[in-house]
Amino acid sequence: MEIRVLGAAAGGGFPQWNCNCDNCRAFWRGEPGWEAQTQSSIAVSADGARYALFNASPDLRQQIERTPALHPKTGLRDSPIRAAVLTNGDVDHVAGLLNLRESQPFGLYATSRIQEVLAANTVFNVLNPDFVDRRTFRLNEAVELKEGDGTPLGLTLTVFPVPGKVALWLEDKNDTSGNFGTVDEDTVGLEISDGSGKRVYYIPGCARMTDDLAARLDGADVVFFDGTLWTDDEMIRQNVGIKTGQRMGHMSISGEDGSMAAFRDLNIGRRIFIHLNNTNPVLNREAPERAEVAAAGWEISYDGMSVSA
């Protein structure tokens, strides 16, 4: 199985268009150690030719352009992208679907909750229903990924709910319970397999580690995991936001409740942070936080990273 990181950054990307936080300003000034990262997406292939896209970022057009494996190959109209899979309804994960118009066949996979959200937004009707087959996957069930015409891609997913939050633009302000109308199907994690016995996980958003999740991930070959923030309050401390990571549905990398601590005793081949917010210090190759993450056995993903499993 081949996994290509198309976009390593969280919503907004790095640098973010209107941001002068410490990180973005350093990038705008051309200081060393920083590289721009586009928004959250990976592409996975079992055969090295046909790909499933996992999340469709607003930067998808640019991501395709700089990834030759995703260029049209034969015939007048063609794309190696044969399926798209969504893990939630965040703007950084669905807006790129609009780039996939032009009557190109593919299978579009999401939970019923996210399929309903797409159906309710008529702008997504640019995905011609004669060509784009919307398919609903169920929690805790295996699903074989298929092209638009039903040809198997050689990839199987197991979909499971993870602690998270409804997309920002779908929050229910009338929900007095404090969880903004979030339901289980709003945020899922995925186990991706190609029949070789390898277990790859893609979890770009997760609010906390649970015993179930830890047990599931133990023994995995590769885990891509929510690396949005270094500390829960970093956006507030940097004066670029009023929300904590917890409020946004993301657990932080550092600290007692952080992902480094939560993964410490798990046996995992490669652990890789993805969905990095532009405020996160690990984006800088020379930052002490980056060295700390590396010492704990973690890698930081980057646009163009390729991982084999």
Given the rule CB under 6 A, which residues bind ligand MLT? 10-11, 90-92, 168, 205, 248-249
C-beta of 26 vs 168, nearer to ligand MLT: 168
Distance in angstroms (rounded) separating the CA atoms of residues 83 and 91: 19
Residue 278 binds which entry of Zn ion, Mn ion, ligand MLT, none, CB below 5-8 Å type-dependent:
Zn ion
C-beta of 154 vs 227, nearer to Mn ion: 227
**Does residue 276 bind Zn ion (CB under 5 A)?**
no
Least Å distance, CB 190 to ligand MLT, is: 16
- Among 278, 280, 284, 301, the residue binding Zn ion under the rule CB under 5 A is 278
The first and second tokens of residue 153, run together, are 């891609």
Least Å distance, CB 241 to ligand MLT, is: 10
C-beta of 171 vs 299, nearer to ligand MLT: 171
Q: Taking the mean position of all CA atoms in its chain, how far away is CA 164?
A: 13
C-beta of 153 vs 166, nearer to Mn ion: 166
The first and second tokens of residue 44, run together, are 């996975």
- Among 3, 24, 100, 153, the residue binding Zn ion under the rule CB under 5 A is 24
Instruction: Answer yes or no: are the C-beta atoms of 227 and 274 closer than 8 Å.
Output: yes
- Among 44, 64, 90, 200, the residue binding Mn ion under the rule CB under 5 A is 90
The pair phi, psi for residue 106, each rounded to 5°, is -165, 165
Residue 87 binds which entry of Mn ion, ligand MLT, Zn ion, none, CB below 5-8 Å type-dependent:
none
Instruction: Count the Cβ atoms, other than its own, within 10 Å of residue 269.
Output: 13
* E strand spans, 10-102: 41-45, 51-54, 81-85
Sign of the alpha-carbon dihedral angle for 3, 89, 62, 252: negative
Distances (CA, A) of 59 to 14, 56, 277, 282: 11, 8, 15, 21
Distance in angstroms (rounded) separating the CA atoms of residues 231 and 294: 17
**Does residue 92 bind Mn ion (CB under 5 A)?**
yes
- Applying CB under 5 A, what is the total number of residues that bind Mn ion? 4
**Does residue 11 bind Mn ion (CB under 5 A)?**
yes
Least Å distance, CB 133 to Zn ion, is: 38
Distance in angstroms (rounded) separating the CA atoms of residues 88 and 189: 9
- The contact set with Mn ion (CB under 5 A) reads 10-11, 90, 92
